[in-house]
A and B are shown apart, each in its own frame.
Chain A
């Protein structure tokens, strides 16, 4: 429920006309910002569970992931409708023309199968290993999302905000890399010592 608050707040702003001089821009950017925030939250679940040993957290992951998809979809819909007037030809030209739009669209496209296989039956049908392999795409999505934001701000040379998100994502992905590599290093060192 809390996860819907930003959405309601943006919608309320649109109805009461309190989003400033350019409400379309505020809506598009607002939905985009929240997509990144929820993506970061989703990626925080596993490290937090591993650090605290609090397994109940795992149940949050699916919901947060689906909200990320929800905000990404809203972001795209807001862009397609408010900026492009739902003109399919114009949208396709725009995707072809602007690399940052292409990258954002790609991230959304990649997210779709993840959202579509989020329920229990899909996990069973795919088998846990295959499901997990598919859902590793979230790392690529995170990087594409970051690139999208970096490129969007490149016009103004203003990288303060994208850098914050990049830092968070680097930390979250770095933790995973370290966790998977550390035991192997340990093992190798042990082997080197014993032989």
Chain B
């Protein structure tokens, strides 16, 4: 039995607790995912012939990962069906409709791929994907994902804490914020012809947010490398913030001394702030953030479920915002 080291799971009402059947289902899935990961390792002696009838999605290459031991990294919620997680996406570089990314992202070339590390660091440079993949042990983490639009999913990501990378590049004393720049290539991304946002899409975190162990540099999901529409070959996942904070297909990570502007802040400053923490008490100017629809799980006529403070990660990240007025710093 997995023993929780903290009270990381906030269940405000009993109906929030995942039914036993779903929970067992997840355990079976995890056991299978673990064995699949083990078989994927060359020369592995583990998991001989433990074939599950419910195979890996089989859409991409397997990516081996161990279960994460980071506090709060494995939520008990049932994982969203793979099909929903890969066909209902916001990735405007491939179009603004939710179905666009899965239809158009096949044009994205994920190799060769490099990420430039710039700014206030002692070891700037360009890292290629293979180096990044092996920089730290890959972990599986099951995170809730709350979109600012009022829907949510639960995704089994694979990656490691962004802090692993940050520690290696040694930020200087001037580094207070981290800016993330994502790919903007007209040849590969048909959505760039639209003027919805200024390209490239940029995001940012405070350095302590970026260093938080839950902030994930992700390379895969559902036991495989990331599908293109989900931000291949590597993306950010910040589970306590609205989904748009988690930049996809990263090409540059810049350490800066001043709070950088983010794409949505520039597009609609009254609607999107730098922090964008999931907060049921602070509504979007045009809709309520108090509840959410869990994709693939909540029935058509089910009442929407209440949204949790910091998306349920308050025990882990609440202290980052102690003393801040979250109404003003939204």
A24 touches B300 (CB 8 A): yes
Nearest residue (CB) in B for A83 is B304
B286 touches A156 (CB 8 A): no
A14 touches B300 (CB 8 A): yes
Select one of B96, B271, B295 contacting A22, CB under 8 A. B295
B196 touches A158 (CB 8 A): yes
Nearest residue (CB) in B for A155 is B286
State whether the Cβ of A81 lies closer than 8 Å to any Cβ in chain B.
Answer: yes
With A14-B300, A158-B196 already in contact, the answer to whether A20 and B267 are too (CB < 8 A) is no
Give complex CA distance A85, B197 in Å: 33
8 Å CB contacts to B: which residues of A91-137? Answer: 93-94, 97-98, 100
Residues of A within 8 A of B301 (CB): 81-82
B304 touches A85 (CB 8 A): yes
Residues of B within 8 A of A14 (CB): 300
Band of interface residues on A: 20 to 34
Nearest residue (CB) in B for A158 is B96
Give complex CA distance A22, B98 in Å: 10
Give complex CA distance A16, B185 in Å: 39
State whether the Cβ of B195 lies closer than 8 Å to any Cβ in chain A.
Answer: yes
Give complex CA distance A93, B300 in Å: 22
Select one of B84, B283, B303 contacting A85, CB under 8 A. B303
CB distance from B95 to the nearest CB of A (A): 10
8 Å CB contacts to A: which residues of B283-299? Answer: 283, 286-288, 293, 295-296
Residues of B within 8 A of A93 (CB): 288
Give the 9 A-B residue pairs with the shortest CB-CB distance, closest first.
Answer: A21-B88, A21-B84, A85-B303, A157-B196, A158-B96, A21-B295, A156-B96, A98-B286, A23-B300
A residues neighboring B (CB under 8 Å): 14, 20-25, 27, 81-83, 85, 87, 93-94, 97-98, 100, 155-158
